[in-house]
């Protein structure tokens, strides 16, 4: 199979990318000044946000580790691997939809840096959805 379509390689790239994305949240928090913004929020809301962010980062790391170190297990035909791959594809597909349907256009339209990140993450979510979706498709043997 052509290296461009090597699902093993793409699952590893996706895994490494998800781990990087998890740790990028520290830079994102600094860039978006979460500390300053959340100083004005009630203690309970601030703590809920930080707990949710922690668990999002943990989920990203776990998805990344799964993709990076259990690549062959994901590619070996099995009902469990298929369900995991479909789940990951749906997860990232819904995230892609949210990129366009939830975030207000005014947040990025006419703002070059925000527009760059909007399109960058559109590409990232599309890539993740495609990689996991193609791997799930391969599981079906079609």
Report angle CA 81, 93, 110 to the nearest 5 degrees.
150
33-68: pLDDT as tens digits:
999 999 999 999 999 999 999 999 999 999 999 999
62-87: pLDDT as tens digits:
999 999 999 999 999 999 999 999 99
Domain regions of the chain by residue span:
1-74, 76-142
99-119: pLDDT as tens digits:
999 999 999 999 999 999 999
Give pTM, 2 decimals. Answer: 0.91
């Amino acid at each position: 199979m052509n290296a461009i379509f090597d699902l093993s390689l793409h699952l590893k790239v996706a895994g490494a990318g998800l781990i990087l994305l998890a740790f990028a949240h520290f830079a994102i928090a600094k860039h978006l000044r979460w500390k300053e913004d959340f100083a004005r929020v009630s203690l309970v809301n601030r703590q809920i946000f930080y707990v949710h962010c922690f668990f999002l980062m943990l989920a990203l790391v776990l998805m990344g580790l799964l993709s990076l170190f259990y690549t062959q297990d994901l590619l070996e035909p099995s009902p469990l691997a298929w369900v995991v791959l479909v789940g990951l594809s749906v997860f990232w597909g819904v995230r892609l939809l949210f990129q366009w349907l939830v975030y207000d256009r005014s947040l990025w339209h006419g703002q070059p840096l925000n527009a760059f990140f909007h399109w960058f993450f559109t590409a990232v979510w599309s890539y993740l959805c495609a990689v996991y979706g193609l791997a799930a498709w391969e599981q079906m043997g079609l």
